[in-house]
Structure 1
């Protein structure tokens, strides 16, 4: 049986709201937390984007649940040597209850310093080298590294956890999944596809944990929930590589009309049908996932947690 966790959305909520949601998640019976790591939201309607490491610091005092970034890009916006320090300190503050989820990122967040946004093959190279740098630094030993993409000189982390921070790698296609299988401590993907889980495990991932996540919009008015999803998260339904290459929230807003209400109705879990919510999360369990995270879209967080505490989680874990 998978563990079920809650996915905190930094794109939608202020820091204090995220901390309160984490408390409600723990009280509702969720077993772990994911938290997104963005510089920008996907659109202005989402409206927020706090610095994730500050929020996790507050989470370490507010709850006892394990926490993982889903996901951090350690390649462009922040140098992997700096992220290694952030992750190591976070692991110490959470008593070892932290995993670092990483991926190749999006131009939306990573181009802000004017760096060229490279094509996917180069981003995968950068991600692998960044993981190598961070792992060496997690040992607490002095590190000098002169690689293809990164240089580190005489760097040493003095505050490190007892065990190195586990690094899970996000992948949505065969190349990223192969990288996750080869060098990751776990695998993250966002669709309940058994084929991808099998590819990871047979590619070298073995019994390492596979984690997935989904978004829902709980509410008693299904039509209002559909409108909320379309207003806030239409970017989730855009095809192809747009999510990786568009550089600004306004570009996603310009494409929002491509996502129709019928598309949202077909692809999204909306409303208060218990069976629909259970089926969406059970699909991950059926595909072989070890951890499943769910995010509530919109402002009715308390209603969502009450609904999952009393009706959904008992069905999933009973």
Structure 2
């Protein structure tokens, strides 16, 4: 049976708000948490970007739900050794209820140290090596590694969970999906793509978990919800590789002029039509996803949780 989690958006909310949303999500009946890992928001209207590992520490004290990053890039801004230490500590704090979601990243977050932003094939190569390094570290022994992209000397994690942290790999295209199938403990994506699920399972993913995220904008005034979604998350609807290569929120704001309110109305479930929200979730169920994470766009978090607790989740969890 498909599970339903809540997607905490670090780009849009400060740390205290995210902690409160986690409490409300558990009370509303969501069974898992995703949390984004960004240095910058996608645009200035979103206006936040707290350090995810600090927030995860706070989450461990207020919720019993499993937590996963969606997703962390462990290749440039954060070295895989540092990422492994952060993930291992998070897993200890959460009593093993932590999964590390990883991806090849976006220039928006990863170019900030002045490193060259490589092409997609190189980024995937770096991600595969990073996963290899982190897996060795999660075993708790001393690790030295001299690879194509990373050097590690005499590194050992002393604070580790009882079991190695599972690593789920994010993918949006065939090459990344094949990588996820080959090296991931699970698959992460953002669309109800049955073909991608099948490619993952056929490529070696087997029965490993497949997860996806969905953003919605609940509210009694659909037109206002559409305006809110268009103002805060037009980046979600940009075509092609723009989301991976644009370097600053300012550039995303410029590119987002391509996205109209009509695009937002079609791209996000907006308003308080229960059937529309249920239908959007069932698209992921029909595509074969094990978990769907829903994120509410905008400030009406409490209204969203009441709506899903009383009207939406009972229809999809029966």
- State the TM-score bracket (shorter-chain normalisation): over 0.9
Task: Please state how far the C-alpha of 1:256 moved relative to its aligned partner.
Answer: 2.1
Pairwise CA distance, 1:264:
1.2
TM-score (norm 1): 1.00
Question: In the aligned structure 1, how far is the partner of 2:165 from the partner of 2:183?
Answer: 14
Deviation string 1:19-46 (CA, Å, 9 cap, x unpaired) is 0000000000000000000000000000
SS state of the match for residue 72, structure 1?
Answer: coil
- Correspondence list, 1:62-211, <5 A: 62-211=62-211
Q: Deviations over 1:46-93 (max 9, x none)?
A: 000000000000000000000000000000001000110000000000
Which contiguous aligned blocks of 4+ residues in structure 1 show a shift greater than 2 angstroms? none
- 2:42 alignment counterpart: 42
Cα separation, 2, equivalents of 1:70 and 1:104:
12
CA distance in 1, matches of 2:83, 2:181: 22
Q: What is the CA RMSD across the aligned residues, in angstroms?
A: 0.5
Give the CA deviation at 1:257: 1.8
Q: Secondary structure at the match of 2:71?
A: strand
Superposed displacement of residue 267, structure 1 = 1.6
In structure 1, the partner of 2:10 is 10
CA distance in 2, matches of 1:246, 1:187: 25
Q: Report what 1:286 is aligned to.
A: 286
User: TM-score if structure 2 supplies the norm length?
Assistant: 1.00
Measured in 1, the distance between the counterparts of 2:43 and 2:18 equals 19
Per the TM alignment, residue 176 of structure 1 is displaced from its structure 2 partner at its CA by 0.3
1:57 aligned partner? 57
Matches of 1:238 and 1:299, distance apart in 2? 23
